[in-house]
Amino acid sequence: MKLTLLSLLLIPVFPYTGNSQITITDADFPAAGDVITVSRTADLTIDYSSTGPDYQWDFSNLTFADQVTRTHNPLSGVPFLINLSYGPTAVTAYRSSYYLPFTDLPLNQFGNLLPVQIEDVFQYTKKNAQKMTLVGYSASINGQDIPIKSDTIETKYIYPLEFEDEYISRGYTHLDMSVFIPAEWMQQRKRTTVVDGWGAITTPFGTFDVLRVQHKIEETDSVKYNGMAFGLNIPVTYEYEWIANGEKTPILKVVTTEVMGNETVVSAEYKDHNYLSVETIGEANALKVYPNPVSDELIISWSSGMKQIAIYYLDGTLVQQLSFEHAVQTVNTSALHPGMYFLSAQKDGETVTTSFVKK
């Protein structure tokens, strides 16, 4: 008997064998080429503050909003100046392991204030057996790819990570834009990191032994343009991470900002299966859905021989059963709650399955 994709997803992929205090090393973080999927949740009332030794965190009821897949890009094939600054022949401290798109950098916002086009901002990370460092950025300025190396390199993690570890790191980055306009950008950051808990966490992805890591990030950014200086008001940011052995990315990450002593959750994401690229089990491309994500009308196409199609919610609850007589049909999805759904159909004694997201 063959297992359907839906039944496979309802079987724990990572069996839990009991919590213990763990140690985190560089092997527990991503390397060049790793592709990692996280699901984002709209549960911004999540309890990020509770922690301690031998703690049990239950986030099993997090609701799915959407997914993001992050590729940790190797340095091969980057433009010449970028390779010179961060590639294998760069100064040792700047030889990056990978780079990622970076959309939170205030440099993007300054581009809206200055007579210059700033886009395609990336952050470069160096990882070795001792620590992970954030060595700088690159950006396309007026169509030219420019490296932006940090003069003072910020440290994100020091290995091994263990309960009650605590350290402070500073970063300073300066960008002279005089080639394009009479302007310069300065960034100063202070990162305070403490491992403030250990225990077991449960999310929709499973149950894991974890260390809980808290980062407090204080940042000041400023720009000088034509002799005038102005700054960007950046609130203090906190990153709360639950990190497990071998998972390459936090099992759960919550980001907050602090204003007048009060923290507000701005994002929460958890490691998850990549539902958006789920392949059909059985006959290739036998069951297709589009658009995906969908708002009000979902178009379903399938090969001949399929008569009954069932729609399930992420937890396996049957939502609707449908009977079809045509190879392509439109289904009204306006009444469905936002989230992930599965479509399952029978053909020649075999179950085929695909998925879609309701916005």
How does pLDDT run across 155-171, given as a tens digit for each residue? Answer: 999 999 999 999 999 99
173-178-183-185 Cα dihedral, nearest 10 degrees:
-10
Question: Helix, strand or coil for residue 207?
Answer: strand
How far is CA 115 from its chain centroid? Answer: 32
- Read off the tokens for 215: 């980062």
Per-residue confidence at 300, pLDDT binned at 50, 70, 90?
confident
The pLDDT, as a whole number, for residue 216 is 98
Closest CA relative to residue 340, chosen from 58, 37, 79, 97? 37
Phi, psi at residue 298, to the nearest 5°?
-105, 130
- Read off the tokens for 211: 């260390």
- Counting Cα atoms < 13 Å in the Cβ hemisphere of 28 gives 20
Q: Which of 96-110, 185-199, 220-234, 298-312 has the highest mean pLDDT?
A: 185-199
Per-residue confidence at 332, pLDDT binned at 50, 70, 90?
confident
* CA–CA separation, 166 and 237 (whole Å): 17
- Read off the tokens for 286: 């036998």
344 or 145: whose pLDDT is higher?
A: 145
Closest CA relative to residue 202, chosen from 2, 67, 55, 44? 55
How does pLDDT run across 6-51, given as a tens digit for each residue? Answer: 333 443 444 454 568 999 999 999 999 999 989 888 889 999 999 9
The pTM for the full model equals: 0.77
Residue 306 predicted with pLDDT over 70: no
Q: Which domains does the chain have, with CATH numbers?
A: 23-275 (no CATH), 278-358 (2.60.40.3080)
- Read off the tokens for 54: 């031998």
How does pLDDT run across 184-231, given as a tens digit for each residue? Answer: 999 999 999 999 999 999 998 899 999 999 999 999 998 899 988 888
Q: First and final CA of the chain: distance in angstroms? A: 34
Average pLDDT rounded to a whole number, residues 107-131: 85
Residue 241 predicted with pLDDT over 70: yes
Question: Helix, strand or coil for residue 231?
Answer: strand
* CA–CA separation, 206 and 15 (whole Å): 8
* CA–CA separation, 48 and 311 (whole Å): 33
